[in-house]
Structures are given as C-alpha cells and as structure tokens.
Amino acid sequence: MTERVVLAYSGGLDTSVAIGWIGEATGAEVVAMAVDVGQGGEDLNVIRKRALDCGAVEAYVADAREEFADEYCMPALQANGLYLDKYPLVSAISRPLIVKHLARAARKFGATTVAHGCTGKGNDQVRFEVATTSLAPDLKTIAPVRDLALTREKAIEYAEKHDLPIATTKSNPFSIDQNVWGRAVETGFLEDIWNEPTKDVYSYTDDPTFPPVADEVTITFEQGVPVAIDGVAVTPLQAIQEMNRRAGAHGVGRIDIVEDRLVGIKSREIYEAPGAMALIAAHQELENVTVEREQMRFKRQVEQRWTELVYDGMWFSPLKKSLDAFVLDTQKYVSGDIRMVLHGGRATVTGRRSDSSLYDFGLATYDEGDTFDQSHAKGFIEIYGLAAKQAAARDAKFGNAEDLG
C-alpha cells in the first residue's frame, strides 16, 4: 500500500505546492486537511476542491469553530493569556486544535506521516511538531518549506510549471494568519521596525482615529465565560464574533509588538484582536471584583507561566494541564456583569456587578454607613511593620542605617 501523508492545508501557495512537492520527494500520496477556526476568507469547500486539483488524493475539511471557541479561546480568556502582556496568543492556541484534527485524519486515512507548511524560523513549527508528538508519538512529521527547501520563488515556479489553480503573485508582501480570536500579520516592510503600519495591514479593525459614536456594551460572565451580551444569550463563539464586530468598529485590539520568538529571534508582529482584547479586559476587571487577593496575586504568576507554555507550543504538556486545573478553580465565582464603553481604540470598563462580589460598600465607603473599624488599623500596622522595624534597628546598631541627609 502506498504511504500517505496528511498535510495541514491552508489553501495558500506554499501548502498547495507542497502537495505535489511531497509526492515527488517521498513518493507518498497526500491527504489535505483544512480546519475552520473562524478565519473567514474563502469557502472551505473551495479550498477542498483546490487541494484535489493540486493533486491530493483526499481532502478533508473540519468545521472546528465552536470547538476552538469553547476549548481553546475560553481557557485563554480565563487565564488572561497575553504574551509579553500584549499578544493574546492568536496563532498559538489554534495550532494544537489543528494538530488534533491532523492526527485524527492520519488515523482515518491510514497515514503514517503528517506535514505542515511552517518555516524553520518561526514558532509554529515547534507548536505543530510538539503537539503531534504529544498526541500521536508514532506519527512522523515533515515540513516541506523547512525540510525540502521550498522557497517562495521555487513555489511560484512550481505552481506556474504545473498550472496549479493558485495565485502566484508576489504583490502581497505580508504573511497572514487569522482565526476568530484574532489576526497576525508579519514580513514585508514591517520587518523594518521603524516603519509604521499602513492602512492595508488591518482588516479586523477600523481606524480608531475617526471612530463612530461610542458603543456601550454589557457582558455577562458565568465562571469566567461570557454567556450574554446586552442581555442576549450567546455561545462563546458568538460572544467573540459579536465583540469582534463591535470592538473592531472602534479600532480596539490593534497591537504592534517586537516579540521574543521561541527560536531566539526577535520578530516584529502586528496583531488585530478586537474581541479577544475587549473580553480579556472585561474578564480581568470581573476577577478584580470576585477573586480573593492572595489567590489573584498567585494567579497572575500562573497566567504568565501558562501563557509562556502555550506560546512555546506546550499546550498538551503536563505542567500546562496542571495550571489549567488551578485557573479553572479560580473561576468558581467569576460571574456577573461588566459594562464597557468602546471608543477610539479603547475598551473602558465603566461598571461592575456580581452576586459573588467581594466588594463591600460598607467597608469601602468614607461616608455614612462605614462599617470599617479604624481602631484596628494601628495595631495591624505595628504587627505588619515589626520585621522591618527590627531589621532597621539592627542596621543602625552596625552603622548601616539609611542616610537621612
């Protein structure tokens, strides 16, 4: 029986050419697999037909939009996943889902090898291959662009020679990856980090310089997951899509960052994530109201490590699974409403309410109704500062006291 390779297929130039390229280099039949994670653009049925026209023996399409929103975007939201405190893991959280479907397709079609279209300079090669070894360690992996020296020039030449049904223009300078959680843009003139992004870089967001009238939105959460917008029940996918539309109209979620790639390269990336950034801002503020102080302080440390693991391709790692359990436990009381105003590139929280709130008006107020016993404060301060007081006395004894000038 002829060997089979399942290729993660995007419908673009590189993966279209890779179908024939893999066949010629390995002698294997290629099964193309496309996964819908809410990237928009071309109909996946069109992409499926293109894969067959490019020489795939089978073409498999998976609608994973709900799965992506429920099982990947929501954990990222609950963990407030922001790499370098800015990037909401747009590509990083989609790769493990794609690999899961890649491995399933390999089993279904009797393949012993999977393939992806990543280069040797990026993070995605690691994410694809580590996820594959975690889910299906018996599968081999090949990367045509990286391993078979498939440059863009060679890809264009190959596509034209074989009359493949794929655009071969060099006019688009950008490398783009997108899904419902956001959009990532790199390469071209953006590689000069002094260059300002031009208007054509953006697609998910409108220019925040000239915003429409401010939009007020109320997001309802249950245990850290959005369940309603302005009182209308929504699924996680619908929540992201609605906030993409509304926050995007105000230019919310534009990110321009030089980030540290896993392979050691600093890379300039442009991201658009209007829904993700608005939802994370709302979720963080609801946590401020409902999560106990020490638990919240520790969660911030967990969030950073969780985000680093996901960015570095360790979605299925034991540590990440353990951190998942902690994050999920912290969401027990993260339920309530957050009111936000979307305007001019900002998502600003203006109101919070929750039945599980730890905010006590009687303790917080300085006016009538104050229930805080201020007589306790003096003793608390004495005990709280005792260790520092003793250390200062020791410093004075040995001539190391602070110079008060």
15 is annotated as contributing to ligand binding: yes
Beta strand ranges found along 21-125 (DSSP E) = 29-36, 58-63, 113-115
Q: Is 71 annotated as a binding residue?
A: no
**Residue 259 assigned to a binding site:** yes
Residue 10 annotated as part of some ligand binding site: yes
User: Is 183 tagged catalytic?
Assistant: no
Was 127 annotated as part of a binding site?
Answer: yes
151 in a labelled binding site: no
Which amino acid type is present at position 79?
A
d(CA 7, CA 59): 9
Q: CA-CA distance, 335 to 283, in Å (whole number)?
A: 9
The verdict on whether 124 is a catalytic residue reads yes
**Does 117 show up as a binding residue in the annotation?**
yes
Q: Which residue in 14, 36, 177, 312 is the catalytic one?
A: 14
| Tokens coding 382 | 């004495």
Instruction: Give the position of tokens 């297929």.
Output: 9
The neighbouring-strand residues paired with 346 are 343
- To the question of whether residue 80 is assigned a binding role by annotation, the answer is no
Catalytic residue, candidates 48, 50, 95, 183 = 95
Sign of CA dihedral 331, 337, 342, 347: negative
Closest of 133, 152, 141 to residue 15, by C-alpha: 152
- Is 14 designated active site? yes
Catalytic residue among 104, 134, 146, 175: 175
On whether 365 is known to bind a ligand per the annotation, the reply is no
Query: Per the annotation, does 43 bind a ligand?
Result: no
Radius of gyration of the chain (CA): 26
- Is 354 assigned a ligand-binding role in the annotation? no
Q: Is 335 labeled as ligand-binding? A: no
Closest Cα partner for 298 from 334, 326, 322, 318?
326
Are the beta carbons of 43 and 63 closer than 8 angstroms? no
Question: Does 72 carry a binding-site annotation?
Answer: no
77 is in an annotated binding site: no
Contacts for 189 with CB less than 8 Å, ≥ 6 apart: 173, 195, 198
Annotated active-site residue in 124, 177, 254, 312: 124
**What is residue 147's three-state secondary structure?**
helix
Distance of CA 220 to the CA centre of its chain: 21
Residue 16 annotated in ligand binding: yes
Is residue 357 marked as binding?
A: no
Count H helices and E strands in the chain, helices first.
Answer: 15, 14
312 in catalytic set: no
Residue stretches of the annotated binding site: 8-16, 87, 117, 119, 123-124, 127, 175, 259, 271
Binding site listing for L-citrulline: 87, 123, 127, 175, 259, 271
Residue numbers annotated as active site: 14, 95, 124, 175
- Could you tell me which residues are annotated as the binding site for L-aspartate? 119, 123-124
Question: Which residues carry a binding-site annotation for ATP?
Answer: 8-16, 117
